[in-house]
Amino acid sequence: MIYSWQDLSQQVEVEVNQFDFSGKPAELYDPIGYTMRLGGKRIRPTLCLLAAQLFGGDLTKAMNLAMAVEVFHNFTLVHDDIMDEAPIRRGKPAVHVKWNRDVAILSGDVMFVQAYQLLAKGNPEKLSQMLTVFNQTAIEVCEGQQFDMNFETRDDVTAKDYIEMIRLKTAVLLACSLQLGAFESGASEKDAQLIYKFGEKIGIAFQIQDDFLDCYAKQEDFGKRVGGDIISNKKTFLMLTAMERADKNQSDRLDQLISTNSSDEEKVSGVLGMYNELNIPEITKSAMQDYFDESLAALDQIKAATELKQPLIELAEMLMMRKK
């Protein structure tokens, strides 16, 4: 039987809800169970299981790796919320708000260790390779977060810099999830690298699309305020590309809009007008499509049955067709 990505996502959800995150002291462990059960799309663990299925692996064994990835991902969210001072996570109070900052830091640290405990249950013959990619990914996610923070105070950030930042902060964990599933199932080194590339390119396309939707999604579809990145002067793919394409007059107008004291609505409207003038929507959609095409080209090169690749293609298409 070949499982769809929806089937495997549901299996992950069941596993998360059944998993015992409890322990003593409760103040340390309760936030972990709370965080893990806040929901989410479970994209990363689903990718891990899809890769295991692609290479003929045992999905029951691969579930430990899928859970390792999901625990690690949620650990990063707990610490991100502390750094961003974000009060809400998936519609509920963030851990550092519901408990306190110190509890959130410590519980996040335990989650990081728990991810390794789950990873250690993987295929012993491939454990060294799994640890190598997982360790490198953990470092790169931190590098991406630091670059993102650095960008807030830098005025020389380029679109190329931004792509590298989102590769590190977002894409490499998707790629790692896939490669772990591949290693568990005995994929060749070449196929393991190709499935990694598939995830990396999809991750970049996904994040560029997130920037695009922030500006151009319909408010009723998006689930949060459209234009929020513009209001907060966030350096996104769209903003950085606009800055690079603008002539002197356009650059001055864009700078004025960014630093304006006018209403949020006027600021968003003005910047979107500049984006349209500079052809930014088309450039952004073209970049998204290029990375998406690169991902599918990598998948196409993998020596596996077409029907086993189809759930991965369908998940990738779902990510690229979303409205929010």
Residue 65, classed as helix, strand or coil, is helix
Please give the backbone phi and psi of residue 305, each rounded to the nearest 5 degrees, phi first.
-65, 145
- What token pair was written down for 100? 């306190």
Whether the pTM exceeds 0.75: the reply is yes
CB of 251 closer than 8 Å to CB of 243: yes
> What per-residue confidence (pLDDT) applies to 219?
62
The radius of gyration of the chain's CA atoms, rounded to the nearest angstrom, is: 20
Q: Using CA atoms, how far apart are residues 145 and 154, in angstroms rounded to an integer?
A: 15
Kindly report each contact of residues 99-108 with a partner whose C-beta sits within 8 Å and lies 24 or more positions away, as own/partner: 99/27, 99/31, 103/27, 103/28, 103/31, 104/31, 104/78, 104/79, 105/79, 106/28, 107/28, 107/29, 107/31, 107/32, 107/35, 107/78, 108/75, 108/78, 108/79, 108/82
Residue 29, classed as helix, strand or coil, is helix
Please give the backbone phi and psi of residue 89, each rounded to the nearest 5 degrees, phi first.
-135, 115
Nearest to 172 by CA among 131, 206, 204: 204
- What token pair was written down for 162? 């931004």
Nearest to 183 by CA among 133, 114, 135: 133
Kindly report each contact of residues 25-29 with a partner whose C-beta sits within 8 Å and lies 24 or more positions away, as own/partner: 27/99, 27/103, 28/103, 28/106, 28/107, 28/110, 29/107, 29/110
Residue 90, classed as helix, strand or coil, is coil
Q: Using CA atoms, how far apart are residues 193 and 186, in angstroms rounded to an integer?
A: 13
> What per-residue confidence (pLDDT) applies to 309?
98
> What per-residue confidence (pLDDT) applies to 221?
57
Peptide bond into 31 cis (omega under 30): no
Within 10 angstroms of residue 110's Cβ, the number of other Cβ atoms is 17
Count of residues making up the chain = 324
Contacts of 272 (CB under 8 A, 6+ apart): 215, 216, 227, 230
Instruction: Domains for the chain: give ranges and CATH numbers.
Output: 5-321 (1.10.600.10)
Averages of pLDDT over runs of 10 residues in the chain (324 residues) are 97 97 97 96 97 97 98 97 93 95 98 98 96 98 96 94 98 98 96 98 96 84 73 94 96 89 88 96 97 98 96 95 66
Q: Using CA atoms, how far apart are residues 144 and 151, in angstroms rounded to an integer?
A: 11
> What per-residue confidence (pLDDT) applies to 224?
59
Nearest to 106 by CA among 38, 39, 29, 33: 29
In which region does residue 145 sit, left (phi positive, over 0), alpha (psi from -120 to 50) or beta (all else)?
Answer: alpha
- What token pair was written down for 142? 């931190």
